[in-house]
Amino acid sequence: MTPKLTFSGTTLKELKAVVQLEESDAFTAAWVKATAIALTPDELQQLDRLKSHLVNEKLHLLNEATLWARAIYPMLLIAEQGNVRAWSEVPLQARYAQFEIEGVVDGVLGRSVAGRLEAPYLTVVETKRGVENQNPLFQLYAQLLAAARLNWELEQSEPQTLFGCYTIADSWTFVRAVVTQLESDRPHLQVESSKEYTEKNDAEIILRILKGIVSHFLNQQNQPPLTSVL
């Protein structure tokens, strides 16, 4: 029987059973380069309004739906460019040679066509509270695997490079994923994590990273191959 992984329940042991996993931190690499990306006056104005709604809030006391609506999703909306749109509550399902993977993603930035999501580029996990919940990083890895497979089915190219992040209150931690050997029995998943950024203190950096990710894929659509800041 083909193993089926679900985003919300995926463990490190289950991931290592089906993929070759390579993890590292990249605090001074691609994420730092993203700080050079320019923000427009309109984007800076939108950030100021967003931060003004957060500055006096006790964010760790807000429920998850309120946090998502006030802090996380508005940032994704500001990062929209071209045909890349922000989405919430997105179901993803993918099949590899030796396993299936599925679930619902809290948020996505991806290529949209005719009012539907065609290619997920960035997946977002809003960390759930309570001791019964899983490590958000493994949930994010599972989502990235599903997104990589779906994007591969569209363009049949390797490696598949895409991005993710998990949020805790107003903090964001980004992951860059490179997936190869997608048709093998055990695909290879290489991931690099950023440092943690908070919207109250690092809103401009968060938006620059998001803009860099979106620009990477927009340029890839128009003129592959691309040498990107990410």
pLDDT in tens, 125-182: 998 865 456 789 999 999 999 999 999 998 888 899 999 999 999 999 999 999 999 9
Confidence of residue 225 (pLDDT cuts 50, 70, 90): very low
Whether 228 shows a pLDDT value over 60: the answer reads: no
Residue 227 forms part of a structural domain: no
Structure confidence at residue 132 (pLDDT): 53
CA 38 – CA 156 distance, rounded (Å): 33
Residue 190 domain boundaries: 4-222
Tell me whether residue 198 is in a domain: yes
Pairing mode, if any, of strands 84-95 and 100-113? antiparallel
pLDDT for position 227: 42
Torsion angle in degrees (nearest 10) through CA of 41, 213, 143, 131? -50
Residue 27 has pLDDT above 70, yes or no: no
Q: Is residue 230 part of a domain?
A: no
98 within some domain? yes
Q: What is the pLDDT of residue 53?
A: 85
For a pLDDT cut of 70, what percent of the chain falls above it? 89
28 has a pLDDT exceeding 70: no
**Mean pLDDT of the residues in the chain:** 88
Confidence (pLDDT) at 140 = 95
Q: Model-level pTM?
A: 0.89
What is the average per-residue pLDDT within 42-68? 89
pLDDT over 80 at 33, yes or no: no
User: What pLDDT sits at residue 8?
Assistant: 87
Q: Return the pLDDT at 81.
A: 92
Q: Which helix (H) or strand (E) holds 86?
A: strand 84-95
Let me know if residue 104 belongs to a domain: yes
Is residue 158 included in any domain, yes or no?
Answer: yes
203 pLDDT more than 90: yes
In a domain, 229, yes or no: no
Q: How far is CA 124 from CA 26, 28, 89, 121, 223, in A?
A: 19, 22, 10, 10, 27
228 lies in some domain: no
| 68-110 per-position pLDDT tens digit | 999 999 999 999 999 999 999 999 999 999 999 999 999 999 9
Number of domains in the chain: 1
Instruction: Report how far residue 84's alpha carbon sits from residue 82's, in angstroms, rounded to the nearest whole number.
Output: 6
Q: Is the pLDDT of residue 229 over 70?
A: no
